[in-house]
Amino acid sequence: MLKSTRPFSPAAAAASLAGLLFCLWVFFTGGKALCLTDGCALFQDFRLAGVSLWQAGIVLFSVLLALALLRFSRAAYLLAALALAADAVLLCVMVFTAPCVNCLIVGALIALNYLILRADNLPPRRERSTLAAVWLVLLVIDLGGVARDLADPWSPLPAPEQGSSVQVYFSPSCRACQTLIANSDRLADAAWYPVPEDARDVLIIADMADRLEKGESLEQAVQNARRNAPDPAAFEQSVASRLSLLKPSMLLLQFRLWRNHAHVLAAGSDRLPFVEFKGLPAFLAEEPTPEEPQERAPAAPPSDALPDIPGLGVAGFCGGGDDAPCEEPPSPPSSSGLIDTSGMTP
């Protein structure tokens, strides 16, 4: 018999009502107030067989609330168990994609319903729930993903007022990075994120950050900080230099730099400089430079086609693993100049 002889459970009804109201709020408003990660946008419009997750949540909590009011607690318990198992699958999907804060809140309300109904329907001396344990492990993993996503890369430079369409990750000791930094004034809308290649770079970046606060340009700050830093051999032999990295301010800086380095590695790169674009780079939309007339001119490309860009490659990079980490390809591609990002589309 699915109808329980136990009295009405206000806790189960309250948890179901909270879940129903929350799903209604997210469905009609988008839930952007709590959308702290990219996973919220990913799952907001996700549909399975034409039904959104929030519509399914509205139906689920409505049925749970009705069953609680009618005292069909055993049926509600079975439904909550199935819902928690389905949510565990969703949590597993988010582990490999992106965590959704709103989805985690709904999952917590489902778990709360499940635990309340389980306590009402099982004897006091009962075994621990394997389903709840598996769900909790997946929740902790996803919460770690939320914390990781909230830890944005750190930059000692203020962000551009209009937002950055280009993000540059560089090392002050990287020769290829220094070439890019020398033209930093031509990348006015770029955000610059330092990444150390070794422990000595941490000292250089700390000095660079202080000089930037005093008003020096990025190029000047990097040059002066490198000039003021001990050479690699002296740094390795100096105990005082290495112990200075244990100061609280330096440990905080190293943690921030780990976040920057982790972002580069997560993007699948192990080379510096690493440049990310948000939108279409302006140089890709420019008309190709006219060439010398030939005996037979090639057919004009369609107006919406991108120009053929020879030499779109890497002219140099630093890996950070060798004494001389910067490398150059055997035949560096020719380039007409630095990338023009003035016409970057957001």
pLDDT in tens, 257-277: 988 888 888 788 878 888 888
Please tell me whether residues 196 and 95 are part of one structural domain.
Answer: no
Same domain as 203, residue 72: no
Statement to judge: residues 181 and 323 lie in one domain: yes
Q: What's the pLDDT score for residue 239?
A: 84
Same domain, 208 and 125: no
Residues 181 and 317 grouped into a single domain: yes
Bridge partner list, 326: 318
Q: What is the pLDDT of residue 339?
A: 42
Vertex 53: Cα angle to 52 and 59 (nearest 5): 95
pLDDT at 23 over 90: yes
Q: How far apart are CA 160 and CA 58, in angstroms?
A: 42
Q: What is the CATH number for 213?
A: 3.40.30
- Closest to 149 in 3D by CA, of 43, 252, 35, 272: 35
The answer on 135 and 17 residing in a single domain is: yes
Range scoring the smallest mean pLDDT among 12-16, 196-200, 202-206, 339-343: 339-343
Residues 322 and 247 in one domain: yes
Residue with tokens 């002296």: 234
149 C-beta neighbours (distance < 10 Å), count: 15
Are 182 and 80 part of one and the same domain? no
Q: Note the maximum CA span of the chain.
A: 95
Same-domain pairing of 16 and 124: yes
Residue 230: domain span: 166-286+312-327
| CATH classification of the domain holding 109 | 1.20.1440
146 and 182 co-located in one domain: no
Contact between 19 and 110 under an 8 Å Cβ cutoff? The reply is: yes
Mean pLDDT of 213-225: 90
Q: Which helix (H) or strand (E) holds 249?
A: helix 248-266
Count the domains in the chain: 2
Would you say 42 and 100 are in contact if contact means Cβ atoms under 8 Å apart? yes
Q: Is residue 96 part of a domain?
A: yes
